């Protein structure tokens, strides 16, 4: 039954641009932000590290790809690789410092690094474009001898879908492997895990870097498909400075079920539908509802006496 459902979803995702053209752009955004939520879920859901500065690696992935194109006239695959490399190096450096702390200490380090990166990106506006951002011309996508332009919506759509499937595959493999077990062991009881011989620092660092690379992949795909980057991507809580916040990966993870493979995707889908519904009738309502949603989800998950929680949290 589950397999059939997955097959149906997969096939409809494959044929969507040809059947329902006007939803293509929406679905593309879902895939990119969904990948971002997937990355956060790997870190928070599986390893228990709550990062509120995951936007940094998204931004590094985006800028890595953009800089490779602008300064080195890189081709498509090199640009994506450069984005991943930037995110990887950034995540490794920050992770080296931050994963030594856990709980709120980790949250503070991720937030403050994000703020520092943002301020530096604003200051270096000649290479980042500052708050206005900067456009660039994305290189053509070459695949099996085909040359495809990302200016065609369907190319962008399958690019985002491909990135998402790759991300899902990685998270699935990790969660089924011994490494996934180690992640969960560290999440559930740090001291017991250490006593069992796990190197808690290395496991956390690996999880942090892997999540960073996934966020970087989302960022690189975002930048290439929008042909655009802006410094605001680095900003912690940046999305919440505007009246119409970008879909927040954390809320998607909480909504879809922490530590579930497909949960973040379902959650992100829910958020994007909600936004589409509210944008025409009550534009300010979306951000207000986000706050209420966090409170409700967290509150009911913890005070699990409430039966409504089972309905709200789809799969936990």
Residues that bind other proteins (CB under 8 A): 20-22, 25, 29, 50, 52, 97, 100-101, 103-105, 107-108, 111-112, 115-116, 119-120, 122-123, 125, 130-135, 137, 151, 153, 226-228, 230, 232, 236-237, 240-244, 254, 279-280, 283-284, 287-288, 290-295, 298-299, 301-303
Closest CA to 119 of 130, 110, 108, 109: 130
> Smaller CB distance to other proteins: residue 167 or 236?
236
> Smaller CB distance to other proteins: residue 81 or 245?
245
> Smaller CB distance to other proteins: residue 52 or 88?
52
Least Å from the CB of residue 273 to other proteins: 12
Least Å from the CB of residue 237 to other proteins: 5
* Residue 176 to residue 37: CA distance in whole angstroms: 19
Least Å from the CB of residue 277 to other proteins: 12
β-pair partners for 148: 141
- What are the φ/ψ torsions at residue 198 (nearest 5 degrees)? -75, 140
Residues 6+ apart with CB under 8 A from 49: 43, 99, 102, 106, 204, 207, 208
What tokens were used for 140?
């053509």
> Smaller CB distance to other proteins: residue 123 or 177?
123
Least Å from the CB of residue 185 to other proteins: 18
> Smaller CB distance to other proteins: residue 167 or 219?
219
Chain mean position to CA 113 = 17
Least Å from the CB of residue 108 to other proteins: 5
Least Å from the CB of residue 186 to other proteins: 15
> Smaller CB distance to other proteins: residue 128 or 175?
128
**Tokens 């300064």 -> residue:** 71
**Tokens 């856990």 -> residue:** 102
Closest CA to 36 of 61, 11, 73: 61
- Distances from the Cα of 32 to the Cαs of 42, 158, 160, 271, in angstroms? 16, 11, 6, 13
* Residue 161 to residue 155: CA distance in whole angstroms: 10
> Smaller CB distance to other proteins: residue 80 or 134?
134
Least Å from the CB of residue 296 to other proteins: 8
How many other CB atoms sit within 10 Å of the CB of residue 101? 15
What tokens were used for 156?
């962008």
* Residue 38 to residue 57: CA distance in whole angstroms: 13
When computed from its CA atoms, the radius of gyration of the chain, rounded to whole angstroms, is: 19
> Smaller CB distance to other proteins: residue 170 or 194?
194
Least Å from the CB of residue 161 to other proteins: 17
Least Å from the CB of residue 222 to other proteins: 8
- Distances from the Cα of 86 to the Cαs of 24, 64, 119, 171, 264, in angstroms? 29, 6, 18, 20, 24
Residues 6+ apart with CB under 8 A from 120: none
> Smaller CB distance to other proteins: residue 144 or 192?
192
The DSSP call for residue 48 is -
């Amino acid at each position: 039954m589950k397999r059939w459902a997955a097959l149906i979803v997969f096939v409809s995702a494959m044929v969507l641009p040809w059947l329902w053209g006007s939803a293509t752009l929406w679905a593309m955004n879902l895939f990119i932000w969904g990948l971002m939520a997937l990355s956060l879920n790997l870190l928070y859901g599986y390893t228990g590290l709550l990062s509120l500065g995951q936007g940094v690696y998204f931004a590094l992935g985006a800028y890595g790809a953009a800089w490779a194109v602008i300064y080195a006239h890189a081709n498509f695959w090199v640009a994506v690789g450069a984005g991943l490399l930037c995110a990887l190096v950034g995540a490794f450096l920050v992770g080296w410092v931050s994963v030594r702390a856990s709980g709120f200490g980790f949250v503070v380090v991720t937030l403050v690094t994000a703020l520092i990166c943002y301020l530096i990106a604003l200051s270096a506006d000649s290479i980042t474009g500052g708050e206005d951002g900067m456009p660039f011309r994305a290189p053509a996508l070459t695949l099996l001898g085909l040359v495809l332009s990302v200016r065609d919506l369907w190319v962008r759509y399958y690019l985002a879908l491909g990135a998402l499937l790759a991300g899902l595959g990685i998270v699935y493999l990790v969660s089924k492997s011994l490494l996934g077990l180690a992640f969960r062991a560290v999440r559930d009881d740090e001291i017991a895990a250490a006593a069992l011989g796990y190197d808690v620092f290395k496991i956390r660092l690996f999880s942090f870097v892997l999540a960073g690379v996934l966020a970087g992949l989302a960022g690189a795909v975002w930048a290439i498909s929008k042909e655009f980057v802006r410094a605001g991507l680095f900003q912690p809580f940046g999305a919440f400075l505007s009246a119409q916040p970008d879909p927040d990966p954390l809320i998607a993870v909480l909504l879809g079920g922490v530590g579930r493979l497909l949960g973040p995707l379902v959650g992100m889908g829910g958020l994007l539908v909600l936004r589409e519904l509210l944008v025409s009738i009550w534009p300010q309502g979306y951000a207000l509802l986000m706050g209420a949603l966090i409170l409700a989800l967290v509150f009911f998950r913890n005070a699990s006496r409430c039966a409504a929680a089972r309905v709200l949290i789809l799969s936990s």
